[in-house]
Structures are given as structure tokens and as C-alpha cells.
Amino acid sequence: MRPIIVLLCLALFGIVAHAQTADTKPAPPAKAAAPKSAAITEEELAQRERRAKARALLVALSSDARTFHDETLRARSLARIADALWQVDAEQGRLLFRKAWDAAEVADLESDKKLQEEVRQQQLRTGSKGYAVNTPPNIRREVLRLAAKHDRALGEEFLEKLRVQKLEAASSATSAKPNPNNLSEAMNQRLSVARELLQNDEVERAVQFAEPALALVTV
């Protein structure tokens, strides 16, 4: 399903981009008032039709993505569809981001359980407390970054959920690793998301999202 999702998203990105370009393209000057009015009307109708088609295709694709049994694939697919859909239907995009977050929570929980089991198996085999494993991707943070790019309030909502979940996980753990920067987990996550936005040239969004942490002096 991954190649299909990638190809469909690329095709839909083209449709949305074309619609956006058409929106910003100035109408050519006309000699008479009547032909100019008619040309604008036709262009507006064409733009609306392109947007409607793009929205319909993205919504249909999101319906298929919700049926994926792989929670990681479902979360990533829904988040990317929401990212593409935002320009034509922000409200529907916000809804899909929340569904992507729900799937990402399940995906990260499953990944954490697999990681803990892998660590336990390694320690049993070696008879020591040392281990070497590959850290799984943080799917919630991927969804958070895409959401924050479009809607700061939605990004803050997801960040707060992530903070609470991290605190709950830390309280249930037997020991916690010291924080060399003396930052809370929430601030670390905030700066990580801001760094990813900055790397994707979303400078203004990155500064806005990092702002609460920028007044702190750390290592």
C-alpha cells in the first residue's frame, strides 16, 4: 500500500498546487468590460471545480487510509492527506490530523512495547544490563510537526497531550534519565518540533512554536 499512497499523494499535491497557482495568477486584461467579466467568471468556476475535485479525491483517500491495519501507515497517511487537504478544506484537515494523532498514539505504544521486549531479550542473552537497539520513529511527533505547520493551536493541543503521556510513562518507569539541559520533557519536545520545522524552511512557524522555550537559559 505504501507505493500507492505515495503516488496518490503526489498526484493530489499537483492538483492542489495547480489550484493554488490558478488562485494567485492575475487575470489577463480585456479590451471590453463584458468579456473581462465573463472571463473572470469562467476562471473562478474552473478554480472551484479543481478545488472540489482535489477535495473529493483527498477525502476518498482518507477513507481508505482509515482502514489500514498498520497503525504507523495509517497515522502517516492521514497526516499527509490532512497536510495536502488543508489548503482547500482546513476544517476537514484538522479532523484528519486528530484521527492521525489517535493512530500515532497506538503506533508509538506498540513500538515502545516491542522495544522493551527487544531490550529484555538482549539482556537475557547477554546476562548484562547493556543493550543496543534501534530507536523506533516517533510517529506522534511527525503528526505534531505537520499539524503545527498549519495551525499553532492544534500543535499546542498535541504537544500538551504528548507532555501528559510522557509524564505518565515516566511515573510508571522504575528510573528516569537525568536531563543534562535542565529542560522539562515538554520543552524538549517543543524545541525538537521547532527544529524540524526550521529544517523544512518553516522559519516563522518554528519561531512561534519555540517561543515559550526561548527565554530559558540552558546548556
- The C-alpha cell that represents 100 in the structure block: 492521525
| Residue 28 dihedral angles phi and psi, to the nearest 5° | -65, 145
**Number of other CB atoms surrounding residue 84 within 10 Å:** 24
Residue-level pLDDT at 98: 96
Confidence label for 75 from pLDDT (cuts 50, 70 and 90): very high
Residue-level pLDDT at 73: 95
Q: Nearest-CA neighbor of 18 among 60, 51, 58, 42?
A: 51
Q: Nearest-CA neighbor of 87 among 10, 8, 155, 19?
A: 19
Residue 128 is given by DSSP the state: S
**Scanning the structure block, which residue is given the C-alpha cell 516517533?**
138
Please write down the HEC assignment for all residues of 20-51: HHHHHCCCCCCCCHHHHHHHHHHHHHHHHHHH
Task: Reduce the DSSP state of residue 74 to 3 states and report it.
Answer: helix
Residue-level pLDDT at 175: 44
Residue-level pLDDT at 96: 96
Residue-level pLDDT at 26: 53
Q: Above 70 in pLDDT, residue 35?
A: no
Ranking 71-75, 84-88, 96-100, 200-204 by mean pLDDT, the lowest is 200-204
Between the CA of residue 126 and those of 17, 56, 132, what are the distances in Å? Answer: 54, 55, 11
Q: Above 70 in pLDDT, residue 12?
A: no
- Is residue 195 exposed (0-12), middle (13-18) or buried (19+ Cβ within 10 Å)? middle
* pLDDT tens readout for residues 151-182: 999 999 999 998 888 777 766 554 445 555 56
Residue-level pLDDT at 84: 94
Residue-level pLDDT at 15: 55
Q: Above 70 in pLDDT, residue 206?
A: yes
Residue-level pLDDT at 103: 96
Residue-level pLDDT at 174: 42
CA distance linking residue 142 with residue 103, whole number of Å:
12
Q: Nearest-CA neighbor of 189 among 210, 211, 208?
A: 210
Confidence label for 67 from pLDDT (cuts 50, 70 and 90): very high
Element (H, E) at 172: helix 152-172
The residue ranges of every structural domain in the chain are 2-136
Residue-level pLDDT at 142: 93
Q: Above 70 in pLDDT, residue 66?
A: yes
Mean pLDDT of the chain: 79
Q: Above 50 in pLDDT, residue 130?
A: yes
CA distance linking residue 205 with residue 219, whole number of Å:
24
